Each structure stands twice: as C-alpha cells, then as structure tokens.
Structure 1
Amino acid sequence: MGLRLSILDQSLIGEQETAVLALNKTIQLAQKAESLGYHRFWVSEHHNSEKLAGSSPEVLISHLLAKTKTIRIGSGGVMLQHYSPYKVAENFNVLASLAPGRVDLGVGKAPGGLPLSTKALQDGRFDNHKDLWEKLVDLKKFVTDSLEPHHPFYGLRAEPVSPEPPELFLLGASVTSAKLAGELGYSFVFAQFINNNETVLEEAFEVFSRLQERKKTEPISFILALSVIVADTDEEAKQLVTNSKIFKVHLERGKTVTLGSLEQAELFGKQANENYRIEIQEASILAGSKKTIREKLQKIQNVFDLDEMIIITPIENFEDRLKSYVLLSEAMSELPISR
C-alpha cells in the first residue's frame, strides 16, 4: 500500500531572522515539497509569537497556491473558536475557487496563542461562547452548501460555492477530538507530536475507525502527524534535535494547553487568571538516518493501516530542515508516495 507524505510548516523565525525571511522560506519549502512529490503542504496559525510567522493561514495559503501548481495547500489549522464559521467558509470557498481541487481546510481546537491574544481575536464580533460542536456542524454545512430548511441561516450561501469544495479535517490529540471528527464526518489528524501517549493514540484510532464505518458515504480518514528529523546518520539526526520538551498547562477548570517553552507556559497560566500547574514532557521526535526512519514509519503505518502521514520537522536552520524533507522523501521511495 502506498503511503502519502505531507508537510506541516510553522514558518519558523530563526535567530537574527525576520518574519519576511521566514515566510519566504515557507514558499521555498512548499515548492520543494511539490517537486519531491509530497501530497499536501499545510501552514499553521499562531498568534503574538516572536518565533512563528504564520498568524493568518488563509492569506498565506492564497500566496502558496499562486506559487505552486499541483500540491494541495491547506491550514493546519484554522482556530475555529475565534471565528464565525460562515466567514471561514467564505475564505476557503474563495481559495477553492481560485485553485479547484487543491485546498484543504484543517480546523484546530486550540487557541493558537495566549489568553491575551484570544481576548483580542474574540473582541465582541459574535457569540464567542457558541459550542465548538455547533461551529463545526455549521462550517461543514456552509462549505458544502447543505443547510437544511430548519436551519436559522437557511437560504444563506458562503459564496462563491466551489465545484470542488475544500477537504475538511479536524486536528486534535485526544480521544474526544477523534470522536468529534468521526461523528461529524471530518477526517481526523492526530497530533502525535503533541500527545505521544500510545494508549490515547490507539483508543483514538479505534473510536474514529468505528465511527468511520458508520459513515461509509463520506470518505473520511485517520491521519497521523509526527515530528521527524532525517539526516545522513543517526548521530547527526540526534544532534539536530533541540527544544525536545513540551510544556502542558493544566488549568483549574480542566482545560489543558500545550506550549513550546516554559516561559510561554508560565505566561499562559498567568494570563488565564486561574490556578494552574505546568507539566514538562519529553517531545516526541523521530530522528535518524533514512534507513532508521523508513523502518520506524513503516512499522507505524502497518500498526494503524495508514494511507497518509503529516510530517513536521522542528529544525530551526532552514537548510537542515530542507535536507531532512529531501532525505525523508528518498527514504520512503520504496513505499511509493501516492498522489
């Protein structure tokens, strides 16, 4: 069985670099990914971050579509809690009309930033307390132009309605997210680079698979998102692993958010204005030579019968990051990348 490989890029801003340079590198990486045969190229949404340039995936996607020809381009993902489903549908319907058959709409549940940026994003423009379930339902109906007569917005269309609407995905790292995706008919991307608990992954896969069987009319799939670093040797790859810890902020009301640094985690806790605790975990990064990574990914593919994996490579140096994706493509050449 062929394995599709895709990329999630966060537009990393390196030391002594600018956002302009980081975004230009994202363009270069998307073009290289296309030439290497990667299936999708996704960009993330992060707010008020000095290290990540991608705060508006819709704008960046539009530019990337214009700079590429065949690779699918999408969001990994739009943080729907901040926005009107109708406006998100309009944005992505425009993109899908500009490049029919090439647009993905990945939706995330996380805030994509600290509480202060969340407050600014949600400043009184609509009902911010609308349930995420309801937003996901509405988003799908707007994107597919399938509002029922009893819906309060029946008769409203998210123009332009594309003949090939964007493909829908829900991103998450829990059983709850997998269940939500399966019940609503979204393909699900499990972020293993955020949650490497094997028990949770297995249960999420089982729950989603059961629900997927019930929705055979909808072609939804389970995709695994992994952090992977490939170098010429195992030792060189291990040397490229930096910032190998993740920081989980557990808020008193039960919410958990994952951050990339202790400083960001502490700041999140303070801005949340409630009791919190910080849990430090080792980041889950697969690092090794082409042979090592090929064997590891084959094993994972066989366990979960996967058609696709989305790869994020957390290397700050762009040349090393680019080389890692080239080597990964070469490593998996024995498992032909399905287009």
Structure 2
Amino acid sequence: MKLSILDQSPISSGSTARQALYESMNLAQLGEQLGYTRYWIAEHHDIPGLACSSPEVMLGYVGANTKHIRLGSGAVLLPNHKPYKIAETYNLLANLFPGRVDIGIGRAPGGSAEASMALSDNFLEQVRKLPESLKDLLHFIHEDFPSDHLFSKISASPLPPIPPEVWLLGTSEKSAILAAEYGIAYAFGQFMSEKDGSLIMKTYIENFKATNRLQQPITIVAVSAICADTTESAEELALSELTWKMQMAKGEGKTGIPSIEEAKQYLGRNGEKEQLKDMRKLMVIGNPREVKDQLSQIQTLYQADEIMIVTITHRFEDRLRSYELIAKELWGNPR
C-alpha cells in the first residue's frame, strides 16, 4: 500500500503559526525517512488553528529540506488564482525539485466568504469558470495551447525538465467526471465527505479518457487517521481534533487545537456526544493493527492506488508517532 501525507499545518493552543510551519517541515522529513510517497500541504485563509495560507511558499522551504519525497498542494484553490500564475509558480518549484512536484487543484474557498471576497473579485463566478481555468492550467503546464489561442505565444517560464503532475481534488461526482474528462489524476477527500466515495471513484475510473499527459487513471483517497499504541490512547488523542472542529462550526476554536484536557473540559460543559459520534465516523482511529485493517478496507473499497493521511493532534510528538506507527505496521522498518 502506498501512503502519503496531507498536512494542514495545525496550530495547537498555546503555540504559534511559526512553530506549526516548522513542525510541518519536520513532518515532511519524517515522511521521507519512513517511506511516504508524497507530502501535500493545504491552502487555508483566516482559519484559526491552521497556519498555511500559501502552499507554494511552504513547498520551497520543505523541498529545500528534503531530498526525494514528492511535494504538492492539497489543494491550491483555483478560484482564488489565475491559472498562468499557478503554472509559473509550480514550474519554478519543478525546476528547483525536478520530478517531485504535484499541483493538487481544489474549488473550495478555503475560508470565510469575506476572505474569498478579499482574494477574488467574484469567487462564485470563478467557481463556475473552474473547468475552463483548469483547462488553461493544463495547457500552460504542458505547453500545448492550440496555435490560434491567445495564450499560445506565452510560456509559464521557467519551464522545468519534468512538468508538475496535476491532480484534481474533490468530494463529488462532478469533480470526478471533470478529472476523468480531462484525463488527469484524481484525489477524493473521504475525510470531508459523507457521500458514497467508492461510487464517485468508480465514476472517475470508468469515465477516464487517456491523454498524452496520462494514459490511465490514478487515484488517491485522503483519510483522517490517528494511531497510537493502544485504542484507548488513539481515541483520547482524537478528542483534540474533534473538539476543535466542533468549536469551529460554532465560530469558536480561535485558540487553536485544544489539548486533551481542554477538549474534555469543553465537551463536559457542552455535552454534545451525538455530534461527536457523527464526526468520529469520518475518522480512522485505533492501534496500529486496527488502523492498518481500516486503511486496507478503504483501499479495497475505493480501489485506490494510494492512501493519503491527514492527522491532527495537539502535541506534535503524537502526530509524528501516529505516522510512524502506521508506516511500521504496514512496511516494517523504514524504506
């Protein structure tokens, strides 16, 4: 089983964004050491508890401190940006780190309506135009605009020896169909969706159109997972992320990812056990054997080429330990 890392660069209560970003770099280094295939970092805007608003900046930092793990955005949010600028930026990264760069594309706002307005003149219009923008991005990356196109005379320089690999990230049949139509790789965010993702993935695979860029469908399923030495410890660690998400849904959670003690105090005051139970269903939580079994079931259900894991805990050491335990359970010694 191929495993990769999706990092949201979480800021723990009592910590700082600078510390969270430094920890993100350390996480990528550990992932490389353990044998994870790729490290992606997400784009978020004005969300308390998440540090990365600019994946391309972080990828330059991470790439300079790693050697071979693939690097990418998970996702760069296309409605917030012009395709040409994305192509220039990731081509530059692909020159610095040849054969290692991915561009994961998403359509979500990545923040509040006000943040979207500050980033884009008309966010909803840019969402509507996403298929056209994605097509332009692919042409810029592969330098294959039709000769009569306005942009055929310009290049997204500096052109790298190996173009970045473009992925479409999504949680709906609409995104799966678009990825299939354009013949690009597809990543399904299982940790963000209660939909039947296996059917959505099947739609992508069955409708995939081979191109010169990609001959066959390639898939990732992104899951939220927390692993610890015991099931009880993993369940306890998960309280921090679950509580933070609950707080964010209520417009709270501005101090970052709570500690286990803070989470227990909050849950004791609010007593929302049913909501917690529903949120828990989207996560993989357990000891190494249990997590391995659950990931194997997900891979079989989705027929996925790769599993991408996002892990949020209050203590960075627990996050590192979770990725380490999963890797060792699946592969034994680091690759």
TM-score (norm 1): 0.85
- 1:163, CA displacement in angstroms? 1.6
Q: 1:51 to 1:23 in 2, by over 3 A?
A: same
Instruction: Say whether residues 1:33 and 2:18 are aligned partners.
Output: no
- 1:317 offset after TM fit, Å? 1.4
The answer to whether the aligner puts 1:314 opposite 2:324 as a matched pair is no
- 8 Å CA contact retained: 1:246, 1:282: no
List aligned pairs for 1:58-97, cutoff 5 A.
58-97=56-95
8 A contact 2:45–2:110 mirrored in 1: yes
Shift of 1:301: 1.9
The answer for the alignment partner of 2:229 in structure 1 is: 232
2:291 maps to a residue whose letter is I
Larger proportion of strand: 1
Q: Distance in 2 between matches of 1:203 and 1:175?
A: 8
Partner SS for 1:226: strand
Counterpart-to-counterpart distance in 2, 1:264 and 1:143: 40
Task: Decide which of 246, 261, 276 is 2:249's aligned counterpart.
Answer: 261
1:230 shift after superposition: 0.5
The answer for the alignment partner of 2:301 in structure 1 is 303
Asked if residue 206 in structure 1 is aligned to residue 194 in structure 2, the reply is: no
Please tell me the residue identity of whatever aligns with 1:215.
A
User: Partners of 1:322 and 1:178 in 2: how far apart?
Assistant: 32
Q: How many residues align?
A: 307
Q: 1:260 to 1:128 in 2, by over 3 A?
A: same
1:135 to 127, 133, 136: 133
Q: CA deviation at 1:196?
A: 3.0
Give a deviation string over 1:266-298, Cα, whole Å, max 9, x none.
Answer: xxxxxxxxxxxxxx7524110011111111112
Letter in 1 for 2:279: E
Equivalent residue number for residue 210 of structure 2: 215
Deviation, structure 1 residue 247: 7.7
Cα deviation, residue 260, structure 1: 4.6
Amino acid at match of 2:76: V
Shift of residue 62, structure 1, vs aligned partner: 0.7
The equivalent position to 1:120 in structure 2, one of 118, 121, 132, is 118
8 Å contact from structure 2 (residues 202, 302) kept in 1: no
Q: Partner of 1:162: helix, strand, or coil?
A: coil
Q: Secondary structure at the match of 1:106?
A: strand
Name the % identity.
38
Deviation at 1:50, TM superposition (A): 2.4
In the TM superposition, residue 4 of structure 1 has moved relative to its aligned partner by 1.0
Once the 2 structures are TM-superposed, how far is the Cα of residue 245 of structure 1 from its aligned partner?
A: 7.2
What is the distance in 2 between the residues matched to 1:202 and 1:39?
A: 22
SS at match of 2:177: helix
Q: How does 1:157-168 map to 2 (within 5 A)?
A: 157-168=155-166
SS in 2 for 1:73: strand
What is the TM-score of this pair, normalised by structure 2?
0.86
In 2, the alpha carbon distance for the partners of 1:132 and 1:196 equals 23
State how far apart, in whole Å, the 2-side matches of 1:316 and 1:143 are.
38
- 8 Å Cα contact 1:42/1:76 also seen in 2: yes
The 1:233–1:78 alpha-carbon spacing in structure 2 relative to 1, beyond 3 Å, is: same
Alpha-carbon distance in 2 for matches of 1:66, 1:110: 29
Q: Which residue of 1 aligns with 2:272?
A: none
Match of 2:42 in 1: 44
| Aligned alpha-carbon RMSD (Å) | 2.4
Mapped partners of 2:54, 2:226: distance in 1: 26
Quick check: 2:183–2:211 contact (8 Å CA) kept in 1? no
More helix by share: 2
